[in-house]
Structure 1
Amino acid sequence: MTEHPRPLTAQRHTIPRQVEAAVLTALEKLPADRFASAAEFAAALTDTSYARAATTATAAMPAVGRPGATSWQLWFIAAAGVAVLATALAAWGWVRARALASQPALWQYIVVGDSVHPLVPMPSLALSPDGTTLVVKDIVQDGLLWAKGGSTLDPVPIPGTERALHPVFSPDGEWVAFVADQQLRKISPAGGSAVTLADSAAAFGGGVAWLDDGSLIYVQNSLNKLMRVSSSGGKGVVALDNSELPGQSLDYPTALPDSRGVLFLACGPNCVTASLRVLDLRTGQQKLVVTEAIQGWYLPTGHLLYTRRDGTALAAPFDLDRLEVTGPAVQVLDRVLVRGGFAQLAWSRSGVLVFERGEGAANQNLPVRVTPDGSVAPIDTSWYGNFASLAASPDGQRMAIGAGTGAGGLNIWVKQLNRGPFTRLSFGGGDRRPVWAPDGRIVAFIRDTLNTSVVAARFSDGSRPDTVLVHLDRQLQEFDWSRDGRWLVVRTDNSVAGAGDIVGLQTSGDTTPVPLLASRFTEKNPAVSPNSRWLAYVSNESGRDEVYVRPFPNAADGRWQISTAGGIQPRWAPDGRTLYYLDLTSRMIAVGVTTGARFAVGESKPLFDASGFTLDPFHQSYDLTPDGRSFLFLAPRRLSDAARTPSLVRVDHWFNDIRAKLVQ
């Protein structure tokens, strides 16, 4: 050799400086200037102080070559350098892997920054594959995503990510995908313009998984389909619908390696019942993995990680060929704060874990009254549970509620307000969405069976057997009972033909189903006015959910749009003069209306932020008291001050901790 090799970092900047220095030393012309042994070479690969001295000396050495060097000589020099570099990188990788494998897990509480408050009640954490960059969402109105790198003290905002949820890194770490304004988008964490990949993506519930082949799996905003789209955008295709899981939403997908499939959650109302399932992308089939689990991930250690409602996380061996658990699960984390159907948790392939830690309440909700100014008061502080939906009786003295049994079942219970008994009313195991008859004597509800659902009813004192009120040829999702008692208005499931239609049935005489709103769009959240003359509902005909009103039962005779920037879940004030709804940021909006012989829309005003309550984006999540003075919500139960002020925890070398726990 007669030329000095060029610095390696000029050709590949990711090579560690000590590796570059060791390679350059190994390529020295004189044997006396090289390493005396392979052991010295290996030691230099991890000696950062050696790197500083050697690299400085190399940088000061001019690169000169012998005039007239032949091409074969230059080729020999290059080949020798490549061979030494390959050997050095292999040795460095082996040494580094052994060193990392012996590192104990390092646990620490972390603070993202003084100006960012990342702990929000929706999925809002993402870690880059190398574990160096944490992306979080700010909790403020229209909050951005922020990127926090290990080399900077303060996080950096990512413009163009207002209202973003479900952030997830691409496998190469160059992009972050997220959902905002019912669109799936991607953006570089270093900044730039956001790119829209798909429309009709679910923000509440929902979720995104980025596969190794470059495609993404996301949840359609109807919550009943997993969609697949290229990372370059284009038309999404259905990867899975919920036809085999009637009455359940498909949420929180996470990717399996090599695009083998996705883990996802099948949720009942408000995820009071939930199961972790897997979609095989080779066959298009799905199957159960773990019952009563909340979110799951496949780890590079070969294990399935999943959380439970009580905040514990477990790891179990998982066979990627058979897509099933092959051994017992071992607890690896505790006090992971679980909200609804997800855990605020992110990990990287490099073995870094970040999660939100606090005292969970096992998905328990507390019924509360909320005044129009946003003041909150529990109905009974001793009354809480796995509650999914509620309805106030016409006299305001009782509340019907859908409650989980803890074993995957869901039934209807009745509570005497405020501190009276809580009595089980139904025993179907798949009973949800209670609605009171106008006279208060009967409670009706949706009952799911294996292949369909019905509207069933039972006297509120439990004195008589169940009666079936509505049985259609389609799955049912929600309904309302007109105040004059003459009509039941039901909304069908949107996973089959006639998706999301609203159908009316008279309670006596001719009970033939009457299509009220049947279009190629999705209609939902039917609500009949107190005088039984008007029907409020939600449709996505404009490209996003908006609240509309039509005459009832002659729905074709007119249409008025109520919301102006998106809206869901309309509810009438008992006097019929105000129509309430939630906007797409979960603010309660009040709109003055006239509901006499003619309908008219008046002024609207925001009342309070409802994002802290338990909200179901696809069904009604609240009611009003009969006097119209308060709203009724379910609020996540907090166990202590620690639960109200959760913390972020970072764990380095976390996979070593998992391995240690699994061999104990």
Structure 2
Amino acid sequence: MRLIFTAIVACALATPAASQSLSISLPEGHEFTSPDRQPFSLSPDGTRVVYLARATVFVKMLRGGEPILVQGPLQGRGKTNPIFSPDGQSILYWASDDAVLQRVPVNGGTPVTIAAVDNPLGLSWGADGQVLVGAGTKGVLRVSANGGAVDTIVKMSTGEAARAPQMLPGGDAVLFTLAEGTPANWNQPRIVVQSIRTGQRTTVTAGRDARYLPSGHLVYVAGATLMATAFDPRTVTMTGQPVAIAEGVQTTGATGAALFSAAANGSLAFVGTGAVPIQLALVGLDGSRKVLGTVPAGTTAPRISADSQKVTFAAAGDIYVADMSNVNGARKVISGGTFPLFSPDGQWLAFGSLGTARERGEERLFMQRADGSGEAELVVKPGRAPEHWLTGDQGFTFITHRGGANNYDLWAYSSEKKEVEPLVVINESAQLSSSLSPDKKWFAYMSSESGDWQIYVQPYPTTGVKYQVTMRGGRSPMWAAGGRLVFDNDGRMFSVSAQMGAQPSFGTPVELPVTGYIQPLLRRNWDITPDGTQLLMLFRPGPRIDVLSDWTNRVPAPSAR
């Protein structure tokens, strides 16, 4: 679902003055990464926003200018929870590769690892230099922004989980959201305050993701409404009537996140529940675009049939098939599947399960009729996703995931032998997005073995020899017409000549005028037509960010503190 920042103002009091709002639009293709784990945050002075798109850290001024990519953090690697330091000069985020918190200067630089923690349910960085981590059933953790030991300052009892912590003035009371149940029921959360010294816990109100502001206000989300009230941190009580600031705030049941951010200067931003359709389009290598139609929310990885007449894709855990001439009429053909791939004759689909309940959590690959008839046939286990067909219908390449965040390997499945063979297996590295050349004698792929994503080519069958194609980064290669490879690099498409033979050689990558397509994380989210002349891609307008300010004139003023 598309996430849109909105600033709809719905005041619970019939008062007067309207709040000021500022709207900006992010570039097309800047879909938020991991939207269920706080993908954006306002700077303390309310002048900038840091956000994650394409698993890359961006900073944008709210009053003009283009988003700036923060150099340093590895691009295209999983990240969550970006926040600013209290002085606005650094950014903290969680990096999935090593499951660590990392800090980087806002203007770019070498990331500094702070501590190893599980994927956070919210972060905060206090003026005292301490970082609080919402750790779910592990409670609330604290670590210095300069690194060091990780301490548990709030413990959970069985059946409790914590998220979105913040230290209140005085350094003893922790404000956080509490959920109960196993698993945690984030649909009925409470906002609580707990003393580190005594362990006494006080319920403030029903709601989630509260933030105490220097103005003396508490802002939080109740249901889908952004609320504000005067609050006394000494007595841990609301001292005024809560007022509705905005309606329609998006929340997620899986993690309990309310998608909004509060700046220390009082500016507020939130993600609304509206959605804009995703469009499927054919794109020429010259950048020309022909929209084919709209596809369901959550559509990923479209794949075209060998005769160019049909397209298949996954959306929200199901697989769809449509005629290229009638994309709007896509039909759901398989439930509980993902990463579909047409067989060369277009009569079958190979697809993955990604550990659905049907497979008891194990990743497996299946084959089933492309019209959804018949039963799914198990062909490979374990296996995450099929990638490219070998000669005829003799099998396909596929990837496995060995548990680590960055630990994928490439294999080939033989439908004749009913066996698998390794293509590229490297421990603690990711090898994926394989594509066979038109003559099926070579395969290209992306690998992180050098520390960053680069593109390589090997003979097929493998001989142990490999050739590095890119030196400055590259992902998701595909063979195009005219003896070229096309590939993505951080939302930009490139083409490189490939002279294959006894001694393969590759030219210098040239950027193509193709931008704005949706490309999340690792999996290739586009395809190329069989004649190698057009790209099949997904598009949607960039998120709109509305920032709300001067709302305090509608909320009862805090009593003297």
Q: Is TM > 0.5 for Structure 1 vs Structure 2?
A: yes
Any conservation in 2 of the 1:400–1:414 contact (CA below 8 Å)?
yes
Which amino acid in the other structure matches residue 498 of structure 2?
V
Q: 1:19-168 alignment to 2 at 5 Å? A: 106-110=18-22, 121=30, 126-129=41-44, 132-136=45-49, 145=59, 161=70, 168=83
| TM-score, with length taken from structure 1 | 0.56
Q: Which runs of 5+ in 1 are unaligned?
A: 1-100, 149-153, 219-226, 238-252, 264-276, 318-329, 405-409, 639-643, 660-664
- Structure 1 residue 416 displacement after superposition: 1.3
**Residues 1:177 and 2:91 aligned together:** yes
Question: How many angstroms does 1:158 deviate by?
Answer: 12
2:496 alignment counterpart: 591
CA distance in 2, matches of 1:425, 1:402: 10
- Counterpart residue number, 2:104: 186
Which residue identity lines up with residue 401 of structure 1 in the other structure? F
Match of 2:535 in 1: 631
Q: 1:106 to 1:581 in 2, by over 3 A?
A: same
Question: Match of 2:166?
Answer: 257
Q: 2 CA distance for matches of 1:235 and 1:418?
A: 59
CA contact (8 A) 1:372 1:607 kept: yes
Please name the residue that 2:146 is paired with. 232
In structure 1, C-alpha distance between the alignment counterparts of 2:420 and 2:268, rounded to whole Å: 57
By relative contact order (CA 8 Å, sep 6+), the higher-ranking structure is 2
Give the whole-Å Cα distance in 2 for the aligned partners of 1:160 and 1:412. Answer: 34
Instruction: Answer whether contact 2:18 2:551 (CA < 8 A) is retained.
Output: yes
Question: Which protein shows a greater Rg?
Answer: 1
Quote the residue 2:338 is aligned against: 432
Tell me: CA distance 1:118–1:157, structure 2 relative to 1, closer, same or farther (3 Å). Answer: closer
CA distance in structure 2 between the aligned counterparts of 1:479 and 1:262, rounded to whole angstroms: 43
The alignment status of 1:564 with 2:471, answered yes or no, reads: yes
Aligned counterpart in structure 2 of residue 486 of structure 1, from 369, 374, 394: 394
Contact 1:442 1:459 in 2 (8 A): yes
Structure 1 Cα separation of the partners of residues 330 and 529 of structure 2: 19
The CA distance in 2 between the partners of 1:306 and 1:563, in whole Å, is 50
Q: What TM-score does the superposition give when structure 2 sets the normalisation length?
A: 0.65
How far off is 1:583 after superposition? 1.0
Aligned counterpart, 1:196 = 111
Identity %: 21
Which secondary structure does the structure 2 equivalent of 1:608 belong to?
Answer: coil
Q: Which residue does 1:348 correspond to in 2?
A: 263
Offset at 1:632?
Answer: 0.6
| Conserved 8 A contact 1:477-1:492 | yes
- In structure 2, stretches of 5+ residues that fail to align are 1-12, 33-38, 74-78, 135-140, 152-161, 168-172, 189-207, 230-242
When residues 233 and 155 of structure 1 are mapped into structure 2, their CA distance, relative to the original with a 3 A threshold, is: farther
Q: Paired residues, what number?
A: 456
1:155-193 CA-to-partner distances (Å, cap 9, x unmatched) read 8999994599975222x44543067999954337xx8x8
Distance 1:158 1:390 in 2: 28
Check the 8 A contact 2:340/2:386 in 1, yes or no: no
Distance in 2 (alpha carbons) for counterparts of 1:548 and 1:200? 33
1:480–1:528 Cα contact (<8 Å) kept: yes
Structure 1 residues 513 and 161, CA, compared in 2 at 3 Å: closer, same or farther?
closer
The answer for the alignment partner of 2:315 in structure 1 is 403
Q: CA deviation at 1:459?
A: 1.2
- 2:544 counterpart of 1:650: no
Equivalent residue for 1:289?
Answer: 186
1:607 counterpart residue number = 512
SS of equivalent residue, structure 2 residue 512: strand
Out of 482, 506, 513, which is 2:414 matched to? 506
Deviations 1:450-484 (A, max 9, x none): 31121112111333221112112xx6245332243
- Kept in 1, the 8 Å contact 2:454–2:473? The answer is yes
- The equivalent residue for 2:453 is 545
Q: In the aligned structure 2, how far is the partner of 1:351 from the partner of 1:400? A: 46
The residue that corresponds to 2:331 in the other structure is 423
- 1:401-420: CA deviation from partner (whole Å, max 9, x where unpaired): 1123xxxxx21111012127
- Paired letter, 2:310: R
Q: CA deviation at 1:299?
A: 3.5
Give 1:558 shift. 1.0
In the alignment, the residues of structure 1 paired with residue 377 and residue 436 of structure 2 have an alpha-carbon distance, to the nearest angstrom, of 23
Q: Pairwise mapping of residues 213-362 of structure 1 onto structure 2 (< 5 A)?
A: 214-215=130-131, 231-232=145-146, 255-258=164-167, 287=184, 289-290=186-187, 297-300=209-212, 305=221, 333-334=246-247, 345-349=260-264, 351-355=266-270, 360-361=274-275
